[in-house]
Structure 1
Amino acid sequence: MDKWRAAVTAPVEARAWRELGYALTMPLMAGAGLVYLLVVLLCGLMAANIVGLPLLALSVRGARGLGAANRGLARALTGVRVPAPAPFRSEPGLLNRMMAALGEVAGWRAIIHSLVRLPAAVLAFAVAAGLWGGGLFLLVSPPWWPAVVAGPVLLVLAPWGVRLALVPELKLVRTLLGPAPGTARIQALERTRALAVDDAAAALRRIERDLHDGTAARLVTLAMSLGMAQEELAEAHEPDRLERARSLVDSAHRTAKETLTELRDLIHGIHPPALDKGLEIAVATLAARSPLPVELDTDLPERPSPAVESIAFYCTAELLANVAKHSGARRASVEVRSRNGRLRLLVFDDGHGGAAMDHETGTGLRGLADRVHMVDGHLDLRSPAGGPTMISIDLPLHV
């Protein structure tokens, strides 16, 4: 029923009108692109002299603006968001700027888009004009039963036809007006490196804080207790002084044991000892300690690298803790498998769902996603309201 209602109401939806506007605007943008292409070609023919080469560089440099306009139009009217290419960079000096502009990949890609988009623009315009225009014409034509039927049918089909006809153009926008594949990979690596640096800095700050506020304070207390006991023993001529010294030594002994426990916990936080025996044993330990029944399924013919094991372990620990605290689930399951050089971790629970990764309600999951991205992994969350929740993490087996 909902599908039929959506089909009938599609012609009056705002999205349909925006896509119609995009289809009708495309020939104008394509024409502007062709004019710009002619300018580039003219500058290229003149490039043999001292004037033509700078003009060609300016034309290629300016093509970024044309690409930005096309990206903005696609985003405003179709909702397709294409990231901007990397900023233009060059060494100081007029000659360096000119040579950098001539080698501007983003500018040349925008020029290529202007050249190859014309067939896609003609297709989208023809479909929009045929379906919308034909439907409106038949709707207002003199009463004739084929027109009375065909007009509304064309208007109902028009939004879906235009949406389908825009697929080639939007594919070109994503392919040619965004970052080049190599550039996108470099940007992803730069973000990953930044996340790794931030994560390492946060870990160091946490260790420093734990040592300063916990272990160091206990060691100071231990030293003071031992000093006071030493003073008492030096003048221990009375039974009450001996008893006081014995009490101070006992207190120092307890402090020493508590300090050792804190140090052991701190060391375990840096590298869980359960991982010494492999990820399968470590995950089994987490499942056994969970307050909820956890079904475990592991299959790791090849052991992952230590960094991947550590990330998978901490993700499993955090996700099982979230299940126990927030999901209201009665049971959970954990699956860890490796195939074709990738490790896949799947955590499922039958709780009430609604988990999110936004910065306001899902900071824990966002932190896990950032940790996974550091090794070129991916976290996928499926948690509809009412449940269940399934979180899958894909990691490289070796880094």
Structure 2
Amino acid sequence: MTLGAALRPVAAARAAFGWRAAAELLYAVLGVPAAVLGFGYAVVTLALGAGLAVTAVGIPLLAVALIGARRFGGLHRALAGRLLGERVRPPAPHRPGTGLYGRVQAVLSDAAGWRAMAYLLVRPPLALLHLYVILFTWGWGVVALTYPLQRAFGWNDVTTRDERGMIRHGFVVGAFHLDTWPRALLVSAVGAVLLFVAPRAVHAVVLLDRILIRRLLGDSSAAARIRTLEETRARAVDDAAATLRRIERDLHDGAQARLVALTMQLTLLRETAPKGPVRDLATAAQATAREAVTELRELVRGIHPPVLDSGLDAALATLVAGAGLPVELRADIPVRPTAAIESIAYFCAAELLTNVIKHSGATRAEIEVVQHEDRLRLRVRDDGSGGAVVGAGSGLPGLAERIRPVDGLLEVVSPPGGPTVITVELPSQA
């Protein structure tokens, strides 16, 4: 027999009775009071919420119950992660709503909260199964294995009469009396078998809880997929914004600077050349170069206005200053959005202000930019003739397409005769 073959039983015993078995046993024991506490919380809060649903308190109480269920779910995940090594990715936070009603509605529509509540309700039967398996295997295994020692000291010595009226001393299982040493050794052998099976039995019942934790307390496959897509889209939007910014810098510091230098050289050539075809050609080339510089500057501003480097509020102030009609600007942006969102918001404001000047006949306008929680709201209002609709040559379809990749919302309120109020809502972080 080789050394490896001889060590296999030792390795198997170490795996069965080592740290993993002790951790699973501890998890099963600690899970009982946690399950009872969670079940009591779920029953009480659901009963109160359902009973008071006809009042103004019931529905918010249900929302609070779901938030608490998420907290209990986090406790069970942490316990499983620490003792079982079960690393379950927590579900994504529910989307925040606006106002009390919006927040309550957002919590009540949170599938992860309801899954956590379901886990609290189904956990107690599983915890009782854990307790039963522990008592039957580990408990009775220890008692049975040490039965010969107990018999020697007179412990658990039950005195009974058998069916023939004889007095017997020892364990009784049904009609079977364990009052001889061979039978005591048989009980000890059964105890050894129970202790051998105990870690595997606990592992099997704990495996059921692992499955429940993955299904009810972790990210669902659909939610995880949506989160992955959102993260991928955010990276793509940020990469696109960074690429445009780099192109703008390359054009500004490279091509534009060279065209300006070329214009200066052509100016020098025109002034030093004698009258004739050479001077005329230099003059025409100089005019063409100036037009190219002007067009390139407009192109650079269309890619990424340099003023955005100072923030969205500063960029909008510059935009309003050159609008050509009175525009009142109100900006409240406590946390700076990402570069991609700032760029989208700026171009939306520029497009809407252009529409006001060209199509509305307004005498004044207002631009309001407000950040609330994780949303950025841009609102443009004018006192023009109204009648603006998406798809009427006003540039609004292009605006809707611009904000769609970041889940932006466009709302147009423009009755005939005015006023026109157009709202663009964007996430603060793309």
Report the TM-score, using the length of structure 2 for normalisation.
Answer: 0.45
Higher-Rg member (1/2): 2
Report the TM-score, using the length of structure 1 for normalisation.
Answer: 0.48
